[in-house]
Amino acid sequence: MRRLVIKDLEGDIENRTARISVIGQGYIGLPTSLLMAKAGFQVLGFDINEELIRELSKGRTRLDREEGIQELISSLLGERYIPTNDERDLMGSDIVLIAVPTPKNANGPDLRMVISALETALRVIREGGLIIIESTLPPGTFERIIVPTVKKHGFSIGSNIYLAYCPERALPGRLINELVNNVRVIGAIDDRSAQLTKLLYKTFVRGEIELVDPLTAEVVKLVENSFRDVNIAFANEVARICEALGIDVRKVRELANKHPRVNLLVPGIGVGGSCLTKDPLFLYWASLENGYEPIILKRARDLNANMPYHYASILDDVVRNIKNGETGTIAVLGATYKGDVPDSRESPVEPFVRELLRKGHRVKVYDPLVTEAFGGEYVSNIFEAVRGADAIAFVTDHSEFRFLNLSKLRKAVKVEDPVVLFDGRMIFNPKEVEEAGFIYISVGMSLSTHKLPIKEFITVR
Ligand code: SAJ
């Protein structure tokens, strides 16, 4: 009898008759649903956010800047891809995939959304079905929390239910491409769960698929994002060193990167997004609990988190110098956590803006993709945003900013010299900025070298 159930699901995956439900229709759940629908499955995209489901049902997506997503929705909606927020539609699913956020709170990971999605999955899955978790799990969660929850519902893993962890590893901005081409890591406690999950992913993934134990899969995912956070922290550390020593990090980076084994990332006003700001901490906490404190992870995280405060402090000094000690008006351009992605979660722009406000400045915020202003005044037009500004801070590397006409921008300011342009993402050529009539300041430069009209200029802290 058990064999029959197992064979059924294999066959249903192979001939695309398995009915799949995906809980969470965000950055990962939506594109993954669409890819499985494209592969030939009937996919229900479930989300508790009614507004999101309403939009999707009309064929509209918040991920319209992600290449390929709008096209996939247009061709699959109502046919093989059906968005819903009615849990009853999911009853009897053969496969349920969970792609909801795993945020952090002050003391550790917040697993409430994952657990709630798992409870939903356990209510709707058919006997002999497969549950896959794509949401990030802190080390040990699969065996200590997920497995016991499944057992509590009366299921026996590897017998009348199958269960696997397959963390998403795709980069916002290149989602479809990375979901298809990246290597996938599957963690499971039994072979059948791993094999069934592999069979499913093989229907839409071109990258290799590796099978490991759940703890290894959990750690791999966190190591990847910690690697990136630590590497950006190193670039930021080099920027701070250059500021202290009075040289330009651009030249240092350009020359160091000519070495065949050096690849210094781009220093900037900070590291944001929902992944890099928490994943290194998940790894840090888990290791600490088990007797080893990974100090590099913690130091890197703290350094990256401090960058927005550091540059808010510099800008505060610069503006007060220009204004003879008074506060001024600062136009902050960019609000999202990175360029060309309409996501302001954990954006480093938030502490940057809040710190400038706390120091008493008027802050106007413009972003081409979101209306978030973090307590500042949102302005929907870039030229209006800069009008009357003593300083303009570019803090997100949107493509729109890279190709701006800087002379036109300077004219729109309508303030006598000096007007400062702070390049928080190193997207401009300093010479061009100065030719347009701004004073250029940036990450990783000694401020004493800037051509400000003040003799005794601040020293970088
Ligand atoms: N950043 C820099 N300097 C750089 C590169 C990035 O300051 O040289 C900043 C960005 O501006 C942004 C932050 O870092 O604020 C993070 O951006 P990102 O593009 O590095 O990464 P995410 O958070 O969008 O996506 C990461 C990816 N992980 C890795 O590249 C190892 C992605 O593959 C993961 O799937 C994703 O986290 C996730 O969901 O875990």
DSSP letter for each residue of 231-290: HHHHHHHHHHHHHHHT--HHHHHHHHTTSTT-------S---STTTTTHHHHHHHHHHHT
Residue in 275, 350, 423 to alter for ligand 1 test, most ligand atoms within 8 A of Cβ:
275
**Structural fold of domain 222-461:** Rossmann fold (3.40.50)
Span 107-111, mean pLDDT?
93
**From the alpha carbon of 266, which atom of ligand 1 is closest?**
8
Give the pLDDT band (50/70/90) at residue 458.
Answer: very low
Residue 338 Cβ < 6 Å to ligand 1:
yes
Rounded Cα gap, residues 306 and 45, in angstroms: 38
Residue 229 has pLDDT above 80, yes or no: yes
- The rounded Å distance from CA 77 to ligand 1 centre is 30
Is the separation of the CB atoms in 79 and 116 below 8 Å? no
**From the alpha carbon of 227, which atom of ligand 1 is closest?**
31
Nearest CA to ligand 1 atom 9: 271
Residue in 180, 271, 278 to alter for ligand 1 test, most ligand atoms within 8 A of Cβ:
271
Give the pLDDT band (50/70/90) at residue 452.
Answer: low
Span 418-440, mean pLDDT?
97
Question: What's the pLDDT tens digit per position in 268-280?
Answer: 999 999 999 999 9
Residue in 336, 338, 344, 396 to alter for ligand 1 test, most ligand atoms within 8 A of Cβ:
338
Question: What's the pLDDT tens digit per position in 289-304?
Answer: 999 999 999 999 999 9
- The rounded Å distance from CA 276 to ligand 1 centre is 6
Q: Which residues are catalytic?
A: 221, 275
Give the pLDDT band (50/70/90) at residue 218.
Answer: very high
Give the pLDDT band (50/70/90) at residue 6.
Answer: low
- The rounded Å distance from CA 228 to ligand 1 centre is 7
Residue 449 has pLDDT above 90, yes or no: no
Residue 171 Cβ < 6 Å to ligand 1:
yes
- The rounded Å distance from CA 382 to ligand 1 centre is 26
**From the alpha carbon of 236, which atom of ligand 1 is closest?**
7
- The rounded Å distance from CA 27 to ligand 1 centre is 14
Question: What's the pLDDT tens digit per position in 135-171?
Answer: 999 999 999 999 999 999 999 999 999 999 999 999 9
Whole-Å CA distances, 304 to 160, 274, 392, 439: 46, 14, 22, 26
- Give the CATH H-level superfamily of domain 9-212: NAD(P)-binding Rossmann-like Domain (3.40.50.720)
* Predicted structure pTM score: 0.94
Question: What's the pLDDT tens digit per position in 394-414?
Answer: 999 999 999 999 999 999 999
Span 434-445, mean pLDDT?
96
Q: Where are the alpha helices (DSSP H) in 337-444?
A: 349-358, 382-386, 399-402, 406-413, 430-435
Position 107 scores a pLDDT of: 85
Q: Please state, for a pLDDT cut of 70, what percent of the chain lies above it.
A: 95
* Average pLDDT across the chain, whole number: 95
Residue 427 Cβ < 6 Å to ligand 1:
no
**From the alpha carbon of 272, which atom of ligand 1 is closest?**
15
By CB atoms closer than 10 A (0-12, 13-18, 19+), residue 131 is: buried
**From the alpha carbon of 270, which atom of ligand 1 is closest?**
7
Residue 266 Cβ < 6 Å to ligand 1:
yes
- The rounded Å distance from CA 229 to ligand 1 centre is 8
- The rounded Å distance from CA 277 to ligand 1 centre is 9
Nearest CA to ligand 1 atom 29: 225
Residue 217 has pLDDT above 90, yes or no: yes
Rounded Cα gap, residues 274 and 281, in angstroms: 12
Give the pLDDT band (50/70/90) at residue 106.
Answer: confident
Position 371 scores a pLDDT of: 97
Residue 271 Cβ < 6 Å to ligand 1:
yes
Non-local CB neighbours of 45 within 8 Å, separated by 6+ positions: 22, 25, 29, 30, 33, 53, 56, 81, 82, 83, 84
- The rounded Å distance from CA 186 to ligand 1 centre is 22
Position 446 scores a pLDDT of: 79
Residue 357 Cβ < 6 Å to ligand 1:
no
Give the pLDDT band (50/70/90) at residue 453.
Answer: very low
Domain ranges across the chain: 9-212, 222-461
Sheet holding 19-23, edge to edge: 81-84, 42-46, 19-23, 93-98, 125-133, 162-165, 184-187, 209-212
CA nearest to 9, candidates 93, 115, 100, 102: 93
Residue 224 Cβ < 6 Å to ligand 1:
yes
Nearest CA to ligand 1 atom 39: 275
Span 368-375, mean pLDDT?
97
Give the pLDDT band (50/70/90) at residue 8.
Answer: confident
Note whether 9-212 and 222-461 share their fold: yes
* Locus of tokens 């990375």: 178
- The rounded Å distance from CA 239 to ligand 1 centre is 19
**From the alpha carbon of 173, which atom of ligand 1 is closest?**
24
Give the pLDDT band (50/70/90) at residue 18.
Answer: very high
By CB atoms closer than 10 A (0-12, 13-18, 19+), residue 290 is: exposed
The string of DSSP codes covering 201-233 is: HTTT--S-EEEE-HHHHHHHHHHHHHHHHHHHH
Question: What's the pLDDT tens digit per position in 68-104?
Answer: 999 999 999 999 999 999 999 999 999 999 999 999 9
Residue 21 has pLDDT above 60, yes or no: yes
**From the alpha carbon of 168, which atom of ligand 1 is closest?**
35
Residue 170 Cβ < 6 Å to ligand 1:
yes
Residue 459 has pLDDT above 70, yes or no: no
Residue 305 Cβ < 6 Å to ligand 1:
no
Q: Please state, for a pLDDT cut of 90, what percent of the chain lies above it.
A: 94
Position 448 scores a pLDDT of: 57
Rounded Cα gap, residues 423 and 438, in angstroms: 11
